[in-house]
Copies of this chain bind each other. A is one copy, B any other.
Amino acid sequence: MGLREVMRELHWSPAEKKIAREAYDAGRERVLAETVAAFKMRAAAVSTPEEMWAMRDFLSERGRDLDFLLDYRYSQLSRVLGQMIGRGLLEESAVAGLDEEKCQIIREVAAMVAKGGD
């Protein structure tokens, strides 16, 4: 089975859902804050029309990236949490309490992302 199928069949207990929700919310808040900060820094440096139009592409790319990153479906959540950890948005300890299968997926995704596979 591929990762997609494995993730689709994971069972999330109520306790795990609570842990995942908190971790997700923290990672989401952090990535959005970082994106807003990056936007503002770049926008402040804009001085030509070309640089201004480039901000449209910046926002479109970030929008697509965040749509994928912030997909809160249980069939995606292990990948999402792994990506967040791999990007340094979350500590691995934030997902402590999830079962071993999920933790393994999360660690694998995180390692891949940290190596630049994201």
A55 to B, closest residue via Cβ: B59
Residues of chain B within 8 A (CB-CB) of A43 are 39-40, 43-44, 46, 55
A36 touching B63, Cβ below 8 Å: no
Residues of chain B within 8 A (CB-CB) of A104 are none
Residues of chain B within 8 A (CB-CB) of A46 are 36, 39-40, 43
Q: Which of B32, B47, B59 contacts A36 (CB 8 A)?
A: B47
Protomer copies: 2
For chain A, what secondary structure do more than half of its interface residues adopt (helix, strand, loop), or is it mixed?
helix
Q: Which of B32, B39, B53, B59 contacts A63 (CB 8 A)?
A: B53
Residues of chain B within 8 A (CB-CB) of A40 are 43-44, 46
A59 to B, closest residue via Cβ: B56
Task: Write out, one digit per residue, whether chain A residues 1-41 have a CB within 8 A of any chain B CB (1) or not (0).
Answer: 00000000000000000000000000000001001100110
Given A36-B46, A36-B47, A36-B52, list of 7 further CB < 8 A pairs? A39-B43, A39-B46, A43-B44, A43-B46, A44-B44, A56-B63, A59-B59
